[in-house]
Amino acid sequence: PVCTARYFYRLGSPTNASKWIIYFEGGGWCYSNITCEERRARYPALVSLSSHPKVKTVRLFFNSGDPGTNPDFHDWTHVYLPYCDGSSYLGDREDPRHIFVAAYKRLMPFYFRGHRILQATMQHLLNAKGLGQAREVIFAGHSAGGMAVLLHVDRLRKLLPATTRVVALVDAALFIK
């Protein structure tokens, strides 16, 4: 399974296009052969983006474009980052890790390259979508996506102008085993 950089984007209104919400999807961690196999079996779409749709309707209240549902952020620029690397965008392996996948009865390569995915995505948003001109940015996420916000917000903040107001919204990001 290979993750590739992909995101869903909706430009804000002319008056609020420089205000952004960047949402990190959650989906568990993969930290051992067992947890990687469990995650793959339970959430196949989170292991490879090949099964993710090209267009996605995100049903989160603060991503809604409906002013009745989302009076504060409906006209902001929205970015939704699908999650598939299994490490909250920390992985940076050159070579895959081979993990036995029971469903296929064989070893399969897992590529942990979430850090590269996040870097490429942010560079594209900065260079092609205008994130570098943002006045306000909310980095938000739940579960493993919330952990990604917690782990990366300081580094992401440094990519933006000093005048940009940055907020981190972390939801359900602590895992207790």
| Residue 149 confidence (pLDDT) | 97
Query: Quick one: which of 28, 32, 54 has its CA closest to 42?
Result: 28
| Residue 176 confidence (pLDDT) | 67
Asked if residue 127 has pLDDT above 70, the reply is yes
Tell whether pTM > 0.85: yes
- Structure token digits, residue 24: 């990190």
Q: How far apart are CA 39 and CA 116, in angstroms?
A: 21
Q: pLDDT class for 60, splitting at 50, 70, 90?
A: low
- Residues with Cβ within 8 Å of 125's Cβ and at least 6 positions away in sequence, in order, are 7, 22, 79, 131
pLDDT tens, residue by residue, 68-87: 988 999 999 999 998 878 88
Give the residue, 78 or 35, on which the prediction is more confident. 78
